[in-house]
Amino acid sequence: MPSTSQAGDRRERLHCEGIRKRIGEDPARWLDWDLLSHEFRREMVLTLIDGMDSVERVRAWRAAERRLAARHEREPRTKVMQRLDQREEWLDLHGERPERLPHGPRRPCDCCANEDGPTAAELRERDEEERAKVSAGYTPDSVDTSETSPETETATLGQYATDGGEPQ
């Protein structure tokens, strides 16, 4: 619900209603600023472009930039058009979001596909057993301590604590 106590966007700007109906947003809202003197807005526009996930949206933004340029009797901004071209090229190469993520944000896991398979608790127990096997007998100096030989059993700490120097 819109706020009744705060003013909305009341500045004079271009409104692209056809684009808004087609893609659900009005790119002129972001593009109709002096991006050279407002560094924060420039970075925000470039970040919005980098996050676009459909070619239709990129082309709509490009059309809005051209309309703004015609309205202000200038050429479309080179940096904005270059970034839009780069994004469209990237989307053509990698595909749009629905093609890249067919199962939504997370793909279903293989372990839960059938109900007869192991439970989460069983999987955790199996992983813990594997970790214990891997780390059994490990010491930082790479000596296997899982088995004691007769030599190490009768040895004193002094025999292993020396660096091979002269006895004191």
Give the pLDDT confidence of 41-78 residue by residue, as tens digits. 999 999 999 999 899 999 999 999 999 999 989 999 99
CA dist 68 and 60 (Å) reads: 12
C-beta of residue 78 within 8 angstroms of C-beta of residue 35: no
The domain locations on the chain are 17-100
Query: Structure tokens of 9?
Result: 């966007």
Q: What is the reported pLDDT for 142?
A: 57
Q: Which amino acid is at 51?
A: G
The band of 34, judged by pLDDT with boundaries at 50, 70 and 90, is: confident
Contacts (Cβ under 8 Å, ≥6 apart) of 118? 111, 126
Of residues 140 and 94, more confidence is placed in: 94
Choose from 4-18, 96-110, 113-127, 152-166 the range with maximum mean pLDDT: 113-127
Give DSSP secondary structure letters for 95-161: --HHHH-TTTTSPPPSTTSSTTS--HHHHHHHHHHHHHHHHTT--TT----SS--HHHHH--HHHHH
Choose from 1-10, 92-101, 105-114, 122-131 the range with maximum mean pLDDT: 122-131
Q: How far is CA 75 from CA 57, 78, 131, 137, in A?
A: 21, 8, 63, 71
CA dist 21 and 125 (Å) reads: 54
Q: What is the reported pLDDT for 154?
A: 63
Whether the per-residue pLDDT at 1 is higher than 50: the answer is no
The band of 133, judged by pLDDT with boundaries at 50, 70 and 90, is: confident
Of residues 122 and 159, more confidence is placed in: 122
Whether the per-residue pLDDT at 139 is higher than 70: the answer is no
